[in-house]
Amino acid sequence: MAEETHADPRRNSVSEEQWKLYEAYNELHGLAQEFKTPFDAPAVLVVGHQTDGKSALVEGLMGFQFNHVGGGTKTRRPITLHMKYDPDCEAPVCRLVSDADPVVSEEKSLEEIQAYIEAENMRLEREPCQFWDKEIIILVEYKYCPNLTIIDTPGLTAPTPGRRNRALQGQSRSVESLVRAKMQHKEFIILCLEDCSDWSNATTRRVVMQIDPELSRTVVVSTKLDTKIPQFARSSDVEVFLRPPASTLDGCMLGDSPFFTSVPSGRVGSGHESVYRSNDEFKQALSSREMEDITSLEEKLGRPLSKEERSRIGVSSLRNFLEELLQKRYMDSVPSIIPLLEKEHRSTTRKLSDLNQELRGILATTSIAHCRGPTCTCLF
């Protein structure tokens, strides 16, 4: 187990050239941020209803548990997670980016970040709007992290009828407005979560398709697969669920077909109520859950899953797909970053030259002012 932990599987899954390109992109991205020359950076925008398992899926993609990521109306600001795979990070290393200055970040423990998110939620709960579209930005490095930027949004809610529920109705509209505004960013890949065993029940897709009607930049994910498999009585029902007709989904989604994920229940900790003693145990439980889902599906179908079908099952399959997709988007956006940085370089060079010239003038004036009679050795 220890040998697997220290191995570098991601370097084996991609070529050294791809790895170097990704690292180079990260450097370009960092320079653009440092020079305050922002550009449209690709990211995965997670959209789902409160009960769709959004928080659990984000934790599964991260490879460790992070309380208060997601949580429906408990989360009143989107949370951006800039994740970077680092095989040397035995524990997650997190840095919280300043709201005032995006260049400034400070290393925080998970408990400190959770406390900050809770404080923000309490503050906004007292505000008239109660929600804020400005993202809480967290930089994460970990041995199980994918190279992804994920933006987790507040959970959508179904409007509650009745006059007495006007406050909840207003809250529902506020959340949907915030999420819709985030989906307007064309560079974002939308991760649309659905918790249903019948694809005609399009709860989240209905909202997503108002912004992305063809689902051309949307990846659809069916969550809580382990709870759905027992609901199917016939193998034909499972076949339709795994490969729904295009007419049912009303679009040409990214990846051509949905992904199916399960995340094991239970929290990491040292208390009596904790199921896992470490994030390593949680990660192992994720892998075991995927294998159990595949076995259960094959038993229901009465046949082995094809290679293509298996590539849609599990958090790891989804993570690999998103990483490859974002890497391609990164590379496509590099040509637009370099001219921005070159322009900034020329501007900075001119400013530096002007400052040097001004400084020489000040020094010359100062030297002349201090000149005293025929014995002065001043060269000016």
Question: Please, what is the average pLDDT of the chain?
Answer: 82
More confident residue, 339 or 307: 307
What confidence tens digit (pLDDT) does each residue in 110-123 have? 889 988 988 998 89
Rounded to 5 degrees, φ, ψ at 79 are -120, 120
What confidence tens digit (pLDDT) does each residue in 183-208 have? 998 889 999 999 988 898 888 999 99
Instruction: State yes or no: pLDDT of 364 exceeds 70.
Output: yes
| Angle at the Cα of 116 from the Cα atoms of 114 and 119, rounded to 5 degrees | 110
More confident residue, 363 or 34: 363
**What pLDDT shows up at residue 195?**
92
> What value does the mean pLDDT take over residues 329-335?
75
Report d(CA 22, CA 26) in Å as an integer. 6
What contacts 366, CB < 8 A, 6 or more positions away? none
Token pair for 153: 């949004």
**What pLDDT shows up at residue 69?**
46
pTM: 0.79
Report d(CA 220, CA 233) in Å as an integer. 24
What confidence tens digit (pLDDT) does each residue in 230-240 have? 999 899 999 99
**What pLDDT shows up at residue 294?**
97
Amino acid at position 360, single letter: R
144 pLDDT band, cuts 50/70/90, is confident
**What pLDDT shows up at residue 129?**
79
376 pLDDT band, cuts 50/70/90, is low
**What pLDDT shows up at residue 70?**
43
**What pLDDT shows up at residue 48?**
94
What confidence tens digit (pLDDT) does each residue in 242-256 have? 998 877 777 678 778
Instruction: State yes or no: pLDDT of 137 exceeds 80.
Output: yes
C-beta contacts of 227-234 below 8 A and 24+ residues apart: 227/262, 228/197, 229/293, 229/296, 229/297, 229/300, 231/197, 232/197, 232/300
Instruction: State yes or no: pLDDT of 172 exceeds 60.
Output: yes
Q: Which residues pair with 107 in a beta bridge?
A: 95
Contact assessment for residue 209 and residue 215, using Cβ atoms and an 8 Å cutoff: yes
Report d(CA 377, CA 380) in Å as an integer. 9
CA atoms within 13 A of residue 208's CA, in its CB half-sphere: 29
Can you tell me whether residue 211 is helix, strand or coil? coil
Q: For the chain, give the percent of residues with pLDDT over 90.
A: 36
Report d(CA 144, CA 5) in Å as an integer. 9
**What pLDDT shows up at residue 291?**
96
| Angle at the Cα of 186 from the Cα atoms of 180 and 188, rounded to 5 degrees | 80
More confident residue, 162 or 291: 291
CA separation (Å) from 259 to 195, 200, 222, 238, 288? 12, 16, 6, 14, 17
**What pLDDT shows up at residue 7?**
44
**What pLDDT shows up at residue 320?**
92
What confidence tens digit (pLDDT) does each residue in 68-92 have? 544 445 678 899 898 888 888 898 9
Instruction: State yes or no: pLDDT of 309 exceeds 50.
Output: yes
| β-bridge pairing 93-97 and 148-152 | unpaired
93 pLDDT band, cuts 50/70/90, is very high
- Which residue is associated with the tokens 């849609």? 312
* Lowest pLDDT segment from 8-22, 38-52, 293-307: 8-22
What contacts 270, CB < 8 A, 6 or more positions away? 277
> What value does the mean pLDDT take over residues 339-364?
83
More confident residue, 22 or 217: 217
131 pLDDT band, cuts 50/70/90, is confident
More confident residue, 101 or 241: 241
Report d(CA 303, CA 195) in Å as an integer. 25
Q: For the chain, give the percent of residues with pLDDT over 70.
A: 82
Instruction: State yes or no: pLDDT of 29 exceeds 60.
Output: no
Contact assessment for residue 102 and residue 47, using Cβ atoms and an 8 Å cutoff: no
* Lowest pLDDT segment from 265-269, 325-329, 335-339: 335-339
Token pair for 199: 């694809």
**What pLDDT shows up at residue 23?**
62
**What pLDDT shows up at residue 6?**
43
What contacts 291, CB < 8 A, 6 or more positions away? none
Contact assessment for residue 338 and residue 24, using Cβ atoms and an 8 Å cutoff: no
Rounded to 5 degrees, φ, ψ at 269 are 170, 180
**What pLDDT shows up at residue 37?**
54
Length, in residues, of the chain: 380
